[in-house]
Structure 1
Amino acid sequence: MKKLLSLLLVGVMSVMLLAGCGTTGGGQDNPDSGSDETEKSISIAQSANFSMGFAPGVQSYETTYYMNNFYESLVEYRDGEYQPCLATDWTVSEDGLTYTFYLREDVQFNDGTAFNAEAVKLYFDNMKSVIGTSANYGQLDMLTTEITVDDEYTVSFHLSRPYYNVLNDLAMVMPRGILSAAAFNDDGSLNTEYLMTHTPGTGPYMFESVNETATEYTFVKNPNYWGEEPDVDRFTVKVIPESKVAAMRSGEVDFIIGSDTLDANSYQELSQTEGITGIISDFNFVTEFIALNDEIAPLDDQNVRTAIQMAIDKESIAQNIYAGLRTAANSVMPADMPYCDATVTTPDYDMTGAIALLEDSGWVDSDGDGIREKDGKVLSFTITYPSTGVYDNVVLFFQSAMEELGIEIKTNPIDLMAFMQQVFMEDNYEITAYMSYWFPYDPYTFVANMYPSTDYSDPSGIYSTDPQVAKALATMSDEEAKALIAGLYNTDDPAVVQEIFTEALNSANESSVIIPLNYRNEYAVFNSDVIESYTFNSIPNHVDVAAIHLK
């Protein structure tokens, strides 16, 4: 179960081989250690500390956002394709069962130990029990029967059956950025105590120190880094839960990224302030949604679910709650993600049509109290959501829209971990407000989690880790939905994968169990007296310090 929480809590080849991976462009060369030039440092604000340390698979969003600065994977996803990172090249056997990777020969971990095929095998062998066999991080670990060291810098992954998403799974720095042997105990388990204050990877930066109150963390360049040297020599992450705008205005911090860290209104305010630059990513990488539990009457009625979706003005949410910084959603997954060009979209906003659907289904307000009823049952539900502040305005908007439709909505904001327990572990909810898993876990994990069973003891080894998404294919029988999603576990043919994705997304869009509200881009603000520019990572909410170019 902890493995589930860990998720919810991821150019030209020859040119890429000359630069580090997991970062978006390098900076100017720094002077030698003997130079008298002033060290170039910046400060970054975030909301919470690294309370779980720097281990892969930790239950902490904050750590996830920074992993790519410390750890690197065999391949990376950039500019719409998989490109070399710690592997310079790879081949796939004709039967799709063996992936062979040819490793860089000029890499060391920041603790001075060698990066080679033995290090890769050790990491993946040890992490298999940490990652587990769920679909949270893809199916690679479940399908890998053996990892072999072919020579010092060649390693092969042997699979039990073909799998279409091997490269994407390997591109997930969280949790497949490779750590040195120091990250593990003798029995192969993670050395979590060591990883509280160490980041033993190959990336451009490494942990240096933390203050006594765990409110300032300092990271420095990796002296063994094999790639192009970044501009920033050292960066300090300052934990500032509530006063980030003031901290940015005063110059206490130089950089803030992410709508989880800075709300839309604060972004707008800061981006219009002299000396501060605001930028927005151009990639829709996560879906915010309302989820309906169709196992509870009357949400088992397609007309009721469709009416609820039709009564939500998604464009108004995008414009008025998120100041136009998000895109109104018409599919459970954005079309600019791989395989996600659905041919059926969700119903448009139409309050009149929504009211007609309910009335045609017998739901009327016979006593004039504003709440519809049928056969003595009132149309009333409770919406459960994390009390992080992220969903408050959306829930209030939803509550108001449902009031206009004649549905009573009671609110139940709870602590994030309590939300995980109640919704993900106990499947105990009527309606939720939440979000998808973000790229690169979306769309693959999201669609895989449409498998309509959360029984992890199923002998097939296939199950969903998200009870909300497991109900998405409500236009199909359980048998049809299981057969469809199980098809992803038996193919590496992109055409077959596309057919499965299209059918699954079409069904989800029609069923109105998962009601997509908006697609999230990402934004950042920075001190333009210090920073020249910033290029978003391929996962836009991840902090890419090597992509910060200084003046």
Structure 2
Amino acid sequence: MSYPGTQAAKDTTTRKRLRLARLGAGLLLCLLLVGCGAWRTETACEADPRCLRYGLSADFAVLDPHSADLPEAGMIFRQIYDSLVYRDNISQQFVPGLASSWAVSDDGAVYTFLLRRDVLFHDGAPFNAAAVARNFERIYDPEQGASRARELLGPLRQYEIVDDYTLRLHLATAYPALLDGLAQPWLGIASPRALDDYGRLRYQFHQAGTGPFVLEKYQPGEAVALRRFAGYRVNPSVYAPLAGDEIQRVEFALGSRSTGDVLRQLADSLDVLADISPADAQTIVGNSTVQVLPTQIPALASSLLINTARPPLDNGDLRRALLLATDRAAISEQVTLNYSQIAWSPLSASTGYSHTGYVNRFAYDPSAAKELIATAGFADNDGDGFVERDGGALTLGMVVPPSGQLPEIAESLRRAWRSVGIDLRLQPVPGRARLTELALSGEYDLLPVDAAGMDPALLGRVFAGDSPYAASRAPHPRLSQLLAQAEREIDASTRRQRYFEVQALLMEETLLLPLREPLRLTATRAAVRNMRFDAYGFYPLLHNVALRLN
């Protein structure tokens, strides 16, 4: 794919070349230290009655919207930046943001955006078409590397600055998922002045958007502090008009414990704690000093990717046996305490595209699972409770990261599969980096997989032939064809049908084991008012949050 650039088709357009920023490792340390030192001192958050203390369980290797990919980073970007469009968190429809209106060509390959004329960035730079173009230029800078932001732009081929407040995006093919990508915080628009002044490495410490909050400081591993932007003008309809008593500052505490004594953390040091466990949520329900906010996450269902490229899971009967041997009701009841419901198809119900034809289709049936295991040629010949074939036991490995209740889910699977003769070995990994390595190598049997988003095109991020997970699948031309057709389809009803066909194929071929509907639990003090999340579930809308004063 060529990097997007403006067309030089007429006088009103301008071509820009992508710039490179090559900095050595020694300069990196110097720049980071300089960036970390540029903080203002203010009243401590705990002493400020209009400062919200927000605990995040994750820390980041980098806090830059054009490089980061963790949801917790997106929670911060949602406050600093506005996007060209937003998704209404009730209707799910797209509404204006930095773009006041837009039009799509009949072939779905050209998007034209009319931009707001009255917006300034936090650093005083004007918002205009050139500012948006500078962001796209940076996203495609080879020095930035692959990123969530770049992925969301799909087959973007070039951008065209038609005039100061009109931007046109040219795609290589139709891509109806583009607006969904533009609505996410990874594609919030940054100040071109700040991007140029601070460069690729220092920008994360000096971010400037147009959003309702300004970055005050970023202290890696410890905190991100924001203050309200007095000049905020965008006010998309996802926000309500201000009442006057809203918070003026936010301090995100990084690496906060999301398990343990939630009540103590909320009483002593936090107003909000993200991503608590179902067990902790259960212990505080009914306590009048706190509240639990469950949020459905539109995404791929929390699932296990099945490696069909190597034995023994290249056998379809055996893969189907895994579905039937999985007691998803027990996982929902015992692990998620019924906060998270059973997932029956690849896409979560909150995407609006979940294939409902698979509800109870592969419900727990250990007897049927045993029959399929026998059909695959396995039997317990030595009476030890595990089946074997050709002298080898049926042993599978499951990669188990520490998050998302996956260790508890893995134990539930190990017990259930033991009852049908499968020896499931658990392979703990420390985090996302090792998970990515295994995905790229294909050296696993079962791997937890996630992909968040409202648009069903997210299925391609996992199942397309060029996805990071391609090493775990035997070639499947029909799947590749369906995904390509669905991604380009501009008729809404036909597109929905295509993605239903993709999900049906994934289930019939048993390429995926859906487990539960994605959900996040957030705990807050009862004094926190107007706490809401955007349409994507992860990202809080803090513009209207207020703290009830005692």
Equivalent pair of 1:55/1:192 in contact (CA under 8 Å): no
Secondary structure of 1:357's partner? helix
Give distance in 1, aligned partners of 2:129 and 2:412. 53
Deviation for aligned residue 1:70: 0.8
Q: Find the partner of 1:181 among 165, 172, 192.
A: 192
User: Which amino acid counterpart does residue 120 of structure 1 have in structure 2?
Assistant: V
Secondary structure of 2:463's partner? coil
Secondary structure of 1:541's partner? coil
Secondary structure of 2:72's partner? helix
Q: Find the partner of 2:56 among 25, 46, 49.
A: 46
Equivalent pair of 1:318/1:328 in contact (CA under 8 Å): yes
2:265 corresponds to 1:248: yes
Give the length in aligned residue pairs: 488
Any idea what the Cα deviations from partners look like across 1:319-359, whole Å, max 9, x if unmatched?
A: 11011110101101124414433544551111111112212
CA gap 1:161/1:282 in 2 versus in 1, 3 angstroms: closer
Equivalent pair of 1:73/1:178 in contact (CA under 8 Å): yes
Give distance in 2, aligned partners of 1:480 and 1:220. 51
% same residue: 22
User: Which amino acid counterpart does residue 287 of structure 1 have in structure 2?
Assistant: A
What TM-score do you get using the length of structure 2 for normalisation?
A: 0.82
User: Which amino acid counterpart does residue 525 of structure 1 have in structure 2?
Assistant: A
Equivalent pair of 1:164/1:493 in contact (CA under 8 Å): no
Secondary structure of 2:321's partner? helix
Deviation for aligned residue 1:539: 1.8
Equivalent pair of 2:345/2:355 in contact (CA under 8 Å): no
Give distance in 1, aligned partners of 2:331 and 2:127. 48
CA gap 1:396/1:381 in 2 versus in 1, 3 angstroms: same
Q: Find the partner of 1:104 among 99, 116, 130.
A: 116
User: Which amino acid counterpart does residue 125 of structure 1 have in structure 2?
Assistant: E
User: Which amino acid counterpart does residue 126 of structure 2 have in structure 1?
Assistant: A
Secondary structure of 2:496's partner? helix
Equivalent pair of 1:165/1:492 in contact (CA under 8 Å): no
Q: Find the partner of 2:210 among 202, 209, 219.
A: 202
Deviates more, 1:368-377 or 1:392-401: 368-377
Deviation for aligned residue 1:238: 1.9
Q: Find the partner of 1:540 among 523, 529, 537.
A: 537
Any idea what the Cα deviations from partners look like across 1:156-188, whole Å, max 9, x if unmatched?
A: 1122322222211211221x11111134348xx
User: Which amino acid counterpart does residue 209 of structure 1 have in structure 2?
Assistant: K
User: Which amino acid counterpart does residue 52 of structure 2 have in structure 1?
Assistant: I
Secondary structure of 2:419's partner? helix
Equivalent pair of 2:291/2:525 in contact (CA under 8 Å): yes
1:460 is matched with none
Q: Find the partner of 1:118 among 127, 130, 133.
A: 130
2:200 corresponds to 1:192: yes
Any idea what the Cα deviations from partners look like across 1:259-281, whole Å, max 9, x if unmatched?
A: xxx11111222233231112223
2:347 corresponds to 1:333: yes
Give distance in 1, aligned partners of 2:169 and 2:295. 35
Give distance in 1, aligned partners of 2:402 and 2:351. 29
Give distance in 2, aligned partners of 1:122 and 1:134. 17
User: Which amino acid counterpart does residue 400 of structure 2 have in structure 1?
Assistant: Y
CA gap 1:393/1:219 in 2 versus in 1, 3 angstroms: same
Give distance in 2, aligned partners of 1:348 and 1:135. 37
2:306 is matched with 292
1:277 is matched with 291
User: Which amino acid counterpart does residue 410 of structure 2 have in structure 1?
Assistant: V
Any idea what the Cα deviations from partners look like across 1:230-276, whole Å, max 9, x if unmatched?
A: 81100112232365615435232111122xxx111112222332311
1:467 is matched with 470
Give distance in 2, aligned partners of 1:420 and 1:248. 30
Secondary structure of 2:140's partner? helix
Any idea what the Cα deviations from partners look like across 1:274-295, whole Å, max 9, x if unmatched?
A: 3111222356545211222112
Any idea what the Cα deviations from partners look like across 1:361-409, whole Å, max 9, x if unmatched?
A: 3311110111101222211111112234741101111111111110111
CA gap 1:249/1:166 in 2 versus in 1, 3 angstroms: closer
2:25 is matched with none
Any idea what the Cα deviations from partners look like across 1:408-441, whole Å, max 9, x if unmatched?
A: 1111101224423432221211122x2421224x
Equivalent pair of 2:113/2:167 in contact (CA under 8 Å): yes
Unaligned runs of 5+ in 2: 1-47, 236-240
Give distance in 2, aligned partners of 1:373 and 1:335. 38
2:364 corresponds to 1:371: no
2:481 is matched with 483
Give distance in 1, aligned partners of 2:311 and 2:393. 11
1:406 is matched with 421
Deviates more, 1:347-356 or 1:335-344: 335-344
What TM-score do you get using the length of structure 1 for normalisation?
A: 0.82
1:383 is matched with 398
Give distance in 1, aligned partners of 2:167 and 2:293. 40
Equivalent pair of 1:52/1:59 in contact (CA under 8 Å): no
Q: Find the partner of 2:80 among 70, 83, 87.
A: 70
CA gap 1:350/1:340 in 2 versus in 1, 3 angstroms: same
Give distance in 2, aligned partners of 1:312 and 1:250. 40
1:521-540, aligned counterparts within 5 Å?
521-528=519-526, 530-540=527-537
Secondary structure of 1:331's partner? coil
Equivalent pair of 2:305/2:449 in contact (CA under 8 Å): no
Any idea what the Cα deviations from partners look like across 1:72-122, whole Å, max 9, x if unmatched?
A: 211111222111111111112233332111111221111111011111122
Equivalent pair of 2:348/2:517 in contact (CA under 8 Å): yes
Give distance in 2, aligned partners of 1:272 and 1:251. 19
Secondary structure of 1:439's partner? coil
Give distance in 2, aligned partners of 1:369 and 1:39. 64
User: Which amino acid counterpart does residue 181 of structure 1 have in structure 2?
Assistant: P
2:201 corresponds to 1:217: no
CA gap 1:385/1:443 in 2 versus in 1, 3 angstroms: farther
Equivalent pair of 2:331/2:409 in contact (CA under 8 Å): yes
Q: Find the partner of 1:303 among 313, 317, 328.
A: 317
CA gap 1:420/1:130 in 2 versus in 1, 3 angstroms: farther
CA gap 1:390/1:335 in 2 versus in 1, 3 angstroms: closer
Deviation for aligned residue 1:152: 1.9
Deviation for aligned residue 1:196: 3.0
Equivalent pair of 2:298/2:518 in contact (CA under 8 Å): yes
Any idea what the Cα deviations from partners look like across 1:180-204, whole Å, max 9, x if unmatched?
A: 1134348xxx823322322211111
Give distance in 2, aligned partners of 1:117 and 1:291. 41
Give distance in 2, aligned partners of 1:200 and 1:448. 30
CA gap 1:141/1:216 in 2 versus in 1, 3 angstroms: closer
2:336 corresponds to 1:322: yes
Deviation for aligned residue 1:149: 1.9
Give distance in 1, aligned partners of 2:84 and 2:400. 37
